[in-house]
Chains A and B, each alone.
Chain A
Amino acid sequence: MTQLAETYACMPSTERGRGILIAGNPKPGSNSVLYTNGRSVVILNLDNPLDISVYAEHAYPATVARFSPNGEWVASADSSGAVRIWGAYNDHVLKKEFKVLSGRIDDLQWSPDGLRIVASGDGKGKSLVRAFMWDSGTNVGEFDGHSRRVLSCAFKPTRPFRIVTCGEDFLVNFYEGPPFKFKLSRRDHSNFVNCLRFSPDGNRFISVSSDKKGIIYDGKTGEKIGELSSDGGHTGSIYAVSWSPDSKQVITVSADKSAKIWDISEDGSGNLRKTLTSSGSGGVDDMLVGCLWQNNHLVTVSLGGTISIYTAGDLDKAPVSFSGHMKNVSSLSVLKGDPKVILSSSYDGLIIKWIQGIGFSGRVQRKESTQIKCLAAVDEEIVTSGYDNKVCRVSGSGDAEFIDIGCQPKDLSLALQCPEFALVSTDTGVVLLRGAKIVSTINLGFAVTASTVAPDGTEAIIGAQDGKLRIYSISGDTLTEEAVLEKHRGAISVIHYSPDLSMFASGDLNREAVVWDRSSREVRLKNMLYHTARINCLAWSPDSSTVATGSLDTCVIIYEVDKPASNRLTIKGAHLGGVYGLAFTDDFSVVSSGEDACIRVWKINRQ
């Protein structure tokens, strides 16, 4: 039996030039936040970042999610205009699904009694905003007045109910109801109005915009009563705003990489209280795009996917920062050491270190953040290849060396015992690298799809498009073909030697994996055909007794080499979208990563 031991969460997906919205649990004492990444909605506990829950039922990329005022339900919206209402605990049972708008939904809010929901977004001309009853979907108002995408909406948290909306047409609209009707419109901003929030006591609301201003309005009438002072104001677009629970302060985050806390006085003017700058390297990734004031925590999210949590009571204290992946995690590697460090990389060039039991441990700093396709790591050295024709070697001290190999690298492997030797396979052949020098480029004449090199650097196995495995012995800078093995019926996707070097396993695009005996080159375990889509990755346990395969069908299947393939353990639905990386940290724990940008650790209990 297998069970999920840990999940390292993905971060909210961000987009340059737009803010993102994260929501917090309104139940007092609860510190969980909600955000979306790809098609999943993630509930993260701020006190314990390893405690996360993922809802993955949307058919389209999810955009925003919110807890209901009683904390029992979550309403989440996606880019097709559908809103799903599901239970916040346990199995996330779906209550209802509505098709609300004809385009992407950008913001969603519950009414304070939990009976109505207002959703705003892009509606292709018609209905850009809709408010409806949560259980029946009947409309509760007419929302005209906007001509372009409505970026945010807010529900007044106290009676009399009001809805305000703001959008790309620079307008802030005020509606009274229910049934909601247009009351007035204000054009105080000179650029996109990004976010709009009512204070928790309902007396005021604030709108922030890409014109760097924040304007405060009266909650009941919609009249402007003040602004955030320009003294010490933001120097970049303000993307999001959040009120403190006592309605006296707001936090705003901006593209100028800082978050500012303002005191809002009784007469409606805002004065700067404190500026929080992030301690990043100052690049585009540090632009802050989302914020939330949750009880005593101030959460800010940066474009690069770092969540920083400040303590509201003590603003000078350094924040707790953690990060994660935002895109498909395409490879995983486990570094020996104590405790074991797991390295994961995603195609956008992010390499992150994780420690089992603790979670996020740090990012590997890379001076040039090029995209990464393959990654191989041994102890202190990391070798990566991307979509330019270069292979990059990063040593423990951070020095990066780039080697241009002349064509696109398809697969990369290091000889584990002498890591300066690397084998890179390309479309037509292989390139042998020693250190930072190309030893030789060998044109093999067939389309190479996967390759691996033995830990002592004397043997290499190359898999081809036609499903044949060819074993070569390496001497100096030449390869001599020793044998050709035919069993696979599809292009080979991955080959790995077992840690004790007695066997190797290969997986192909036709869903089949085979374990071979190295010295006799005979099939050791066959009929590993239980996947229903191509095999993406494969890993051996440290004692060479177990093989795990991960596939596009989102399952991880674990086989024991000594037992028949039918005695397998299957982990279904490990990662929405497909499993792309697999590694073993010890004989009973498998780490898997996939398209949903999460990394999960599973414990295996063998009978």
Chain B
Amino acid sequence: MSFRGSNASSGMGVAEHSKTTYLELQRKKVHRYVIFKIDEKKKEVVVEKTGGPAESYEDFTSALPENDCRYAVYDFDFVTAENCQKSKIFFIAWSPSVSRIRAKMLYATSKDRFRRELEGIHYEIQATDPTEMDLEVIRERAN
């Protein structure tokens, strides 16, 4: 890890493909979720998996590894009290407490840089175990 500047940001680049996949989710709504992984060898954030619009929240949570950290973007659709269909984009920093310290540090320091690349995120959640990114939590944040 290289420390540049006075912030705790590591020198991870963001692959072009990650940015475009995110834009597809945001503008064209072709994905329900995108999971990003840090590729240490290439020193950048790459797309690991995407989910089609028909997939559910359960599919998304099972796609996240139990013992390793990831970044994820999820498009959450819901109906408000006034009966309008709304959609909010959540950025989830998945950092389970059972994962390795090195992984947690890596993802934590690179998060800021990566987040800046993604415009239009409505809410951000940091989850250290599955209960913290439960559907109830997401629903409550959206309302």
Partner-B contacts on A (CB < 8 A): 489, 527, 529-530, 564-566
**A489 cross-chain contacts in B, Cβ below 8 A:** 97-98
Within 8 A of A (CB), among B125-140: 129-131, 134-135
A529 to B66: give the CA distance in the assembly, Å. Answer: 14
A566 to B132: give the CA distance in the assembly, Å. Answer: 11
A529–B58 CB distance below 8 A: no
A58 to B98: give the CA distance in the assembly, Å. Answer: 39
B58–A527 CB distance below 8 A: no
A565 to B58: give the CA distance in the assembly, Å. Answer: 11
Residue in B97, B131, B135 whose CB lies within 8 Å of A527: B131
B61 to chain A, nearest CB (A): 8
A489 to B135: give the CA distance in the assembly, Å. Answer: 24
A421 to B135: give the CA distance in the assembly, Å. Answer: 46
**B98 cross-chain contacts in A, Cβ below 8 A:** 489
A261 to chain B, nearest CB (A): 59
A563 to chain B, nearest CB (A): 10
Residue of A529, A565, A566 ringed by the most chain B CB atoms within 10 A: A566
B129–A566 CB distance below 8 A: no
**A527 cross-chain contacts in B, Cβ below 8 A:** 129-131
B100 to chain A, nearest CB (A): 15
B112 to chain A, nearest CB (A): 28
A529 to B134: give the CA distance in the assembly, Å. Answer: 11
A564 to B131: give the CA distance in the assembly, Å. Answer: 12
A181 to chain B, nearest CB (A): 58
**A565 cross-chain contacts in B, Cβ below 8 A:** 130
A529–B135 CB distance below 8 A: no
**B135 cross-chain contacts in A, Cβ below 8 A:** 566
Within 8 A of A (CB), among B91-116: 97-98
List 14 extra interface pairs beyond A527-B129, A529-B130, CB under 8 A: A489-B97, A489-B98, A527-B130, A527-B131, A529-B129, A529-B131, A530-B131, A564-B58, A565-B130, A566-B58, A566-B61, A566-B130, A566-B134, A566-B135
A529 to B61: give the CA distance in the assembly, Å. Answer: 15
5 pairs of A and B residues whose beta carbons are closest in the complex: A527-B130, A529-B131, A530-B131, A529-B129, A566-B134
A529 to B97: give the CA distance in the assembly, Å. Answer: 12
A564 to B135: give the CA distance in the assembly, Å. Answer: 12
**B130 cross-chain contacts in A, Cβ below 8 A:** 527, 529, 565-566
**B58 cross-chain contacts in A, Cβ below 8 A:** 564, 566
Chain A residue nearest in CB terms to B130: A527
A566 to B137: give the CA distance in the assembly, Å. Answer: 11
**B129 cross-chain contacts in A, Cβ below 8 A:** 527, 529
Chain A residue nearest in CB terms to B62: A564
A566 to B133: give the CA distance in the assembly, Å. Answer: 10
A527 to B130: give the CA distance in the assembly, Å. Answer: 7
Q: List 16 A-B contacts (CB under 8 A).
A: A489-B97, A489-B98, A527-B129, A527-B130, A527-B131, A529-B129, A529-B130, A529-B131, A530-B131, A564-B58, A565-B130, A566-B58, A566-B61, A566-B130, A566-B134, A566-B135
